[in-house]
Structure 1
Amino acid sequence: MRPRLSITTPRHAERPHVLGAFIHAALLAGVSGTAVAAETSVNDEAVEFDSRFFPTGSRAAADVSRFGRANVVLPDVYSVDVYFNGERKGQRDVRFAVIDDNMGARPCIARNWLIEYGAKAGDVTLPASRSESPACETIDQIIPGATANFDVSDQTLELTVPQVYVNRLPRGYVPPELWDPGIDAGLLSYRASSYRTTTGRSSTTTSYVGLDAGANLRGWHFRHTGTLNAVSGNGIRYQKNASYVHRDLPSMGAQLYLGDTYTDGSMFDSLRVRGVRLARDQRMLPGSRNGYAPVIRGVAATNARVAVTQRGISLYETTVPPGPFVIDDLYPTGYGGDLDVTVTEADGRRVEFKVPYAATPNLLREGQTDYAVSAGHLNEVEQVERPYIAQATLRHGISNNVTGYVGGVMSRGYGAYQFGAAFNSRIGALSADITYARANVPGLGVSNGHSVQLRYSKTFSESGTIFALGAYRYSTASYLSLLDASRLRSLYRQGNDIHDYERIRSRFELTLNQSLGDRRGSLFLSGSAESFWNAKRNSVTYSAGYSTTIRSATVGIGVQRVRTALATTGRSRTETRAQLTLSLPLGSAPRSPYFSSEVGHETSGGRHVRAGISGTAGSMGQYSYAGSATRRGGRTSIEATGNYAAPVADVSLGASSDGEIRTASAGVSGGLVVHGGGVTLAQTLGETIAIAHAPDAKGAVLSNTRGAKLDRRGYGVVPYLTPYQMNEVAVDPVGTSLNVEIKATSQRVAPHRGAVVLVKYETVNGRALLVKTRADDGQTLPFGAEVLDHQGQVVGVVGQGGRIFVRDGGDSLTLTVRWGAGAGQHCEIALPADLPKTSGKTLTTVTSSCARTTPVATARSH
């Protein structure tokens, strides 16, 4: 392996070989303004360097003319922000290589990147095998007329591709051919806890273990969940929760489940069944098509700029040609709020109009379809009846503002169907539906009934008010849901009287949020009410509150009132709770602890006062703690908890006491993955995960985790990925040996749902050396002179004082320094063969002369 100069990226900035980046920056200092490395252009103007700034003693000055061009990038891998036709696509590690000596290093572009960013696949042909792909392809070699411009100061790479080669794709689109199905693997996630309660001389210990096990095999995902419970003196009991197999069907945009699953709950009650389920997965859509947002249509007279804002916040901006235009890839924004559209023509004329935008759960974008089909045996835990059921639901975006939906459910002696529609209008978002049901229950006969439901929401942009009627449902006395009918059959078979079976009559939910402006806080109000057939009981709950921020402190006040009528007597009971809260940081440091306090009053519990402190510690927030004291009813209780996110598990401890009852708890959670490389432990496992593999890079930290690291074999788990979307999986080499270099610290993957994707990182092993050298006549080597390895590859430049950073690969111990094309404008550095062994935590310094003959060299570690 050849020696290699490591030009550090921002992720390596903390490591000793930052010298390479410093040398590069020093050279760039001679260029006025922003240095831009671009594809060759005949219009590039050369910059002349003043040789007086490069003293060389008796040696000839180095030829730094190559840095006078726009492209002043040295060969290496850089972590850059990539833009494609002006749109940011995220961060990526890009290799720069010398293609032409007269042009310097240029970015190497992978063909699949361009397809991912939106280039037409027919114009970007992927090689049949990796061996057919050139070592480095520039973007103009892949697509005619395409350019790549690298801004050194901002570390941004702008890729520009002619529109004729670009698909018009919605934002967030990832081509299905780039979706990664993952590898075969076994998975186990666990959550274990033990809780001990002591009262006087007696104590009770309760233990719990939750298990989620699975295996991925050729695209099929087998899953099993269960719990293990143990109570002092009662033995151990295991309860199986669910077992199923799942796989995605990208061609249908759907998910298939076999085994224990749930029916769709958007129209009917979600029921647990053992059978089969096929459902559309909206996550397979581009991010900008997931969720509801209106389509914007307009007409431009010239090449115009179209800007879309909401409550003063910019949501979208694009340029359109003359004629009609359509914007159909807006990201959803919660409850909504009218959109302000501004069309600015080329001559300065402006046209402004509003597009109503409000959302309810049933709204779909124009042309979109959502469906779910389930069939199997009812498998509710508390149900004796296990009838066969079948359910289907369908929603379709009929137009920009109207969505229709229909569904049906059937079982033995039961049938129900629903019709409904959702509307987006200037007065808000509204949905209305009606469900008809017919049930034949022994002992009750045939019941025919219906249930009506309304939903409404509206955001008033001018006042900052968000109003939502969560749901209003009214059901007739003879209406039975499928679960009601099944329960009545079970009760009848057990000999119970079912004529007085209580069921929901009406339900009402309301929320209101009001912003009071900057620094004035916000108000909220919510309420709900329920009433039942065949029962005197009903309940009404409402709450109100206010919160604001005063400097760094957060203050809140809230009131909740619950009124419940007892089923036996019909007499009502009212419970009122009120509380005042305060939270503020104890310092200005990023991880300063927070102090919190609360004063409250409850009708049944009286007054209470609580004060506590909480916070996080550690370089990555891997430690967390909390402690509080509460005074209630003349008794004081104290509790404390602590958590440590270890690289392979989460560990927690807790304790509390109120003078009479003492508790102590301990818990641990984590996971493991069995794969072709062995067994890898993890802090936790999500539904979709990645295994990062960087050989010999033990100790590297996985980004976006709480301190998870690569193990001794270079494997680590990234526990949470978003399926079908591009995820950045990055490793930080800060904890690795200096003798290991990770060539590219960031990769992007788009996994299938439930997949275990293997993300490989190329590493280079070699001792990290800082070479201090002079010419054999004692003169300092020219600043900026090129350093080449035994293969003639440029691996860096000479820095100030004749310092060079290299990585010793062991194949060759000779470096060549060249500062011109003349016969006498180069020399050789022979590195010592007996370099001292190091732990990889220190940098080895080598002192060697540079001569045409074999020089004498010495080495030491520091």
Structure 2
Amino acid sequence: MRFQVDATRYSQGNPIDPGTYRLDIYLNNRWIGRQEMRFALPNALSRTALPCIDLTLLDYLGIKSDNVSEQTLRALQGEGICAPLTEIIGTGEAVYDGGQQRIDFNVPQASLKRRARGSVDPKYWDNGITAATLKYDYTGYHSASHGSAGETYHYLSLLGGFNWQEWRLRYRSSLNHSGDNGTRYQKIATYVERAIPPLNSKLTVGESTTDGQVFDSVSYRGVALTSDDRMYADSLRGYAPVVRGVAKSNARVTINQMGRTIYETTVPPGPFAIDDLYPTGQGGDLYVTITEADGTESSFTVSYATIAELLRPGMTRYTLMAGQFRDNSMHDKPAIALGTLRHGFSNIITGYSGLTAAEGYYAAAMGLAFNTPVGALATDITQAHTRLPGKGAEQGQSIRLTYAKTVPQTNTNLTLASYHYSTRGYYSPAEAMRARDYLKYGNNAGAFYDDSAVLDDGTANYSYLRGMQHRRNRAQITITQGLPEGYGSFYASANTQNYWGTQKRDTDFQLGYNNQYKSVSYNISANRMRNTSSGNWDNQITLSFSVPLSSASSSPRLSTSYTQKRHTHSLQTGLSGSAGENNQYNYGAYVSSERADNSGRNNTLSLNATWLSPYATVGGSYTKSSDYDQYGASLSGGIVAYHDGVVLSPELGETIAVVEARNAAGARVTNYTGVHLNGSGRAVVPYLNPYRMNEVEIDPKGLSTDTELKSTSQNTAPTAGSVALMVFETTSGYSVLLDGKQTNGKPLPFGAALEEEDGNAVGYVAQGGQALIRVTHHKGQLRATWGEGPGESCRFRYQLPQTAAPEKGDYRRLEVICK
């Protein structure tokens, strides 16, 4: 038997009731923000509400208003127009998704204002909520040689924070304790920071360090205003050249790099410029192809090599700092000011300069960076003038040369080749401040110096400053070379430096080869490194293998390595892996044997494990060797306190979010490993990218059927250091699988609407008179409606069984007769 069901409500798509909804807004499948939107019926005959568009929303979406009529513009300036998008701007569509609580605007590129890829308008950045945070890391261990009492050591690192509107207060400190040295508390840094969006900069007041772009990094106590590269769109960060060309028609432009297509777009006839390429590591020349409307092609190559000094054409970065030089080992706290400026003049040239002024010291730097067909090159010179107590004034220069190049044809990546030369009278800002402090106060200046730094008459002997050797030359190079498929790759790096007034030279290097045969990975490497115990340099050769024990992605791995160095060789074998539904358990077990020429063999067993619990990260370790025993423990995590409570987290980054979903305890945040909502329906998302779109998604799988998430995904674009609050609305009630019949024994009609006595809709009837509904009360009355005529509705009373909430994934069942 067929029922006469009134389906006109669905004739215009999924019905939307008039009202205001807080929605995620997408433009051409790209999230741009979250805000409230009003929906209204376009006319009295319509059954479906449409989004109301006004000028503010058009600006929010970046839609051009050039082709909008004056009459439409006047209407848009008021409450807006509630009509299809095509009637307003002549093109596009708006699609509402009630399940995801989002609305998609699909608009042709020609109707949009040009924006850099990956950008989020600063007026939609989220400063977060007022909150206090604490990140802690504790390590403790006990070590004892056989026959001795041993020693216990404890270390606790703390990073506290308080957020209020745009301001971020941070306090970093540490506490360590040992049996020999007692307890020591150290304040490391305290500062306040906030973003300055109009300048794409950040303001820092307190104790911090400079970025080290033009001068070596300086630790200071004062105030600094610096460019914040994170505020720029991904396509404007780092360096990438502007690609310019001319199209004869509506053409397609494709840009390839090392055989991969990295950009594709369409351009109108005439000159074009593509200035929003994403930076790609060390670069690699760009191969540009223009495909005209008739299919003809033309191509050209744009040189692309990059180093840290290069900026995109027209981009500027700066640093301004004033305060005191900060070094806890020094007696004085000299005043210091620093300024740097970098600007990209073209695809080829970036210029940079800087000034530093302090008590008894000033320095000026100037340099140029080039993007050339043979690689990226930067060269600069710094002139420094230092007044040293008792020694007079000294002047000197430092010259620096940096080079980088990627050669796709040979798969060679010369990531960095750098050379520094300093004359005898040159001092960096930190070297100058420490030297002046020592020469003024002698041994009372701090722990940087030893007794030989003072002559017999008690005066300072600068030539014996320990830890401040006057560097003369430094050179370093790093190269990676890929081999044909199946033959692996090798890498090499080397660093060497010498000093004025001594024949001493420090040289270290690394050489290595990596490859994989089926599932077996192997590596051979050679290193030269300093032995911190003896102070000697050791050459070390290591051969290692690693193989999974099964094909499963979480399979444990068995690893073996053999190492040989001066007078010593060792063999280590270990097993490591992870376990748990979210890989929250990590473990490792290692056995090693070391033989030294003068002390025999030493065998060692090492065990370690960590647990990423819902509230903290807990770890433990145990080592037993022929000479000693050691065991340790670690505990780390974070605490977030805000107006609605306190939430614990196993991890805590700089920029975070607090997720709230009432009655959704146990639900998993899918894109963050190990994050689950606690018993109160809250969790901390420990890492977010500042000034970027971040999607946070909750997996409803496993939730009680008595709770429904109105949306499972939200997006936020937080400012750096903020605590974003993301509230997921939920619907709670009694879930029921209803089997409804009419008084004549026939099932309730398909599509019939079910609502409670107060008009609250609870669901619709499916096939066979069944309906999956969620009611507010344990007992009451429901009405079924399948039309507006007589006999096209009925009512029934219900009372749910007096049982506990159903198991996850199950429902209460109820059979009713609708009268």
TM range (shorter): 0.7 to 0.9
Residue 136 (structure 2) aligns with: 190
Equivalent residue, structure 1, for 2:411: 464
> Counterpart amino acid of 2:167?
W
1:408 corresponds in structure 2 to 355
2:484 to 517, 526, 530: 517
Distance (Å, rounded) in 1 between the aligned partners of 2:292 and 2:37: 41
Name the structure 2 match of 1:13: none
TM-score by length of 1: 0.83
1:146 aligns with 2:92: yes
- 2:539 aligned with 1:576: yes
| Counterpart AA for 2:27 | F
Cα distance in 2 between the residues matched to 1:188 and 1:214: 6
How far apart are residue 272 of structure 1 and its match?
1.0
1:694-731 deviation line (CA, Å, top 9, x unaligned)? 22322222333332332333332111111111111222
Alignment of 1:766-845 (within 5 A): 766-783=733-750, 786-787=753-754, 796-810=763-777, 813-818=780-785, 823-832=790-799, 836-838=803-805, 841=808, 843-845=810-812
- State the Cα distance separating 1:98 from its structure 2 match: 11
Aligned equivalent of 1:392: 339
The corresponding residue for 2:513 is: 546
The within-5 A match list for 1:556-571 is 556-562=523-529
What residue identity is the alignment partner of 1:298? G
CA distance in 2, matches of 1:563, 1:678: 50
Question: Which stretch shows the higher mean deviation, 417-426 or 770-779?
Answer: 770-779
Number of the residue aligned with 1:276: 223
In structure 2, the residue matched to 1:622 is 584
Structure 2 matches for 1:77-476, cutoff 5 A? 84-85=27-28, 88-89=30-31, 118-119=62-63, 145-148=91-94, 159-163=105-109, 165-200=111-146, 201-232=148-179, 234-476=181-423
Verify the 8 A CA contact 2:92 2:105 in the aligned structure 1: yes
After TM superposition, give the deviation of residue 785 of structure 1 in Å: 5.0
Query: Which stretch of structure 1 is more off in the superposition, 352-361 or 100-109?
Result: 100-109
Which amino acid in 1 is paired with 2:581? S
CA 1:150–1:808: 2 relative to 1, 3 Å:
closer
CA distance 1:120–1:596, shift in 2 (3 Å)? farther
Deviation per CA, 1:737-764: give whole Å up to 9, x if none: 3322221122111111111121122121
CA distance in 1 between counterparts of 2:635 and 2:53 reads 43
Q: How does 1:550-699 map to 2 (within 5 A)?
A: 550-562=517-529, 575-605=538-568, 607-633=569-595, 634-699=601-666
Structure 1 partner of 2:461: 497
In structure 2, distance between residues paired with 1:632 and 1:209? 32
User: Hey, what does 1:39 align to over in structure 2?
Assistant: none
2: CA distance, partners of 1:150 / 1:584: 50
- Contact kept? 2:138, 2:635, Cα under 8 Å: yes
State the secondary structure of the residue aligned to 1:202.
coil
Given that 1:116 and 1:178 are in contact with CA atoms closer than 8 Å, whether structure 2 keeps it comes out as: no
Query: How has the CA–CA distance of structure 1 residues 210 and 142 changed in structure 2, closer, same or farther, with 3 Å as cutoff?
Result: farther
State how far apart, in whole Å, the 2-side matches of 1:157 and 1:62 are: 29
Deviation at 1:456, TM superposition (A): 0.7
Deviations along 1:645-691, one digit per CA (max 9) or x if unpaired, are 11111111111111321111111111111211122222222111111
Judged with a 3 Å threshold, the aligned counterparts in structure 2 of structure 1 residues 751 and 115 are, in CA distance, closer, same or farther, namely farther
Q: Secondary structure at the match of 2:799?
A: coil
- Residue identity opposite 1:343 in structure 2: I
Q: Tell me by how many angstroms 1:830 deviates.
A: 3.6
1:701-740 pair list within 5 angstroms: 701-740=668-707
Aligned residue in 1 for 2:448: none
Letter in 2 for 1:147: E
**1:110 and 1:749 mapped to 2: Cα distance?**
22
Q: Deviations over 1:115-155 (max 9, x none)?
A: 66544699999x99xxx899x99756886533146899x99
- Conserved 8 A contact 1:75-1:96: no
Q: Deviations over 1:547-593 (max 9, x none)?
A: 122222222111123599x99xxxx9652211122122221223221
Note if contact 2:92-2:108 (Cα within 8 Å) is conserved in structure 1. yes
Q: What amino acid does structure 2 have at the position aligned with 1:427? A: V
* Corresponding residue for residue 752 of structure 1: 719
Alpha carbons of 1:685 and 1:138: their partners in 2 closer, same or farther (altered >3 Å)?
farther
Counterpart amino acid of residue 612 in structure 1: G
Question: How far apart are residue 824 of structure 1 and its match?
Answer: 4.1
- In the alignment, the residues of structure 1 paired with residue 484 and residue 781 of structure 2 have an alpha-carbon distance, to the nearest angstrom, of 68
- Counterpart residue identity of residue 203, structure 2: L
Q: Which amino acid aligns with 1:443?
A: G
Q: 1:491/1:325 Cα in 2 relative to 1: closer, same or farther (>3 Å)?
A: same
CA distance, structure 2, for counterparts of residue 768 and residue 620 of structure 1 = 29
Question: Secondary structure at 1:251's aligned position in 2?
Answer: helix
**Alpha-carbon distance in 1 for matches of 2:83, 2:159:** 45
Q: Which deviates more, 467-476 or 413-422?
A: 467-476
Measured after TM superposition, the shift of residue 736 of structure 1 is 3.9
Q: Is 420-429 or 768-777 further displaced after alignment?
A: 768-777
Partners of 1:197 and 1:205 within 8 A in 2: yes
Q: Which SS does the other structure have where 2:235 is aligned?
A: helix
The Cα of 1:363 is off from its aligned counterpart by 0.5
Structure-1 separation of matches of 2:478 and 2:85: 53
- The alignment's C-alpha RMSD in Å is 3.8
Task: Point out where structure 2 has 5 or more consecutive residues left out of the alignment.
Answer: 443-458, 596-600
3-state secondary structure, aligned to 2:405: strand
Which residue in 2 is equivalent to 1:3? none
Deviation at 1:539, TM superposition (A): 1.8
Q: 1:783 to 1:363 in 2, by over 3 A?
A: same
Q: Deviations over 1:815-838 (max 9, x none)?
A: 444556654454445432666442
Q: CA deviation at 1:402?
A: 1.0
2:3 to 60, 63, 69: 60
- Pick closer, same or farther for the CA change 1:785–1:415 going to 2, 3 Å: same
Q: May I ask how many residue pairs the two structures share in their alignment?
A: 782
Following superposition, the deviation at residue 425 of structure 1 comes to: 1.3
Give the Cα–Cα distance (whole angstroms) in 2 for the partners of residues 110 and 230 of structure 1: 64
Q: Which residue of 1 aligns with 2:431?
A: 484
Looking at structure 2, the residues matched to 178 and 81 of structure 1 have their Cα atoms a distance apart, in angstroms, of 12
Distance 2:114 2:322 in 1: 39
SS at match of 2:603: strand
Show CA shifts across 1:584-610 (max 9, x none).
2221223221221112211242x2111
Write the distance in 2 (CA, Å) between the matches of 1:611 and 1:659: 17
Deviation at 1:400, TM superposition (A): 2.0
Residues 1:711 and 1:116: Cα distance change in structure 2 (over 3 Å): farther
Contact 1:93 1:746 in 2 (8 A): no
- CA distance in 1 between counterparts of 2:91 and 2:13 reads 18
Q: Distance in 2 between matches of 1:517 and 1:818?
A: 71
Distance across 2 between alignment mates of 1:648 and 1:573:
45
Give the Cα–Cα distance (whole angstroms) in 1 for the partners of residues 584 and 247 of structure 2: 54
Percent of matched pairs sharing the same residue: 36
Deviation at 1:282, TM superposition (A): 1.1
Structure 1 residue 769: deviation in Å? 1.2
Q: Which amino acid aligns with 1:583?
A: S
- On the 8 A contact 2:697/2:714 being kept in 1, the answer is yes
Distance 1:842 1:158 in 2: 31
Change (3 A) 1:574 1:227: closer
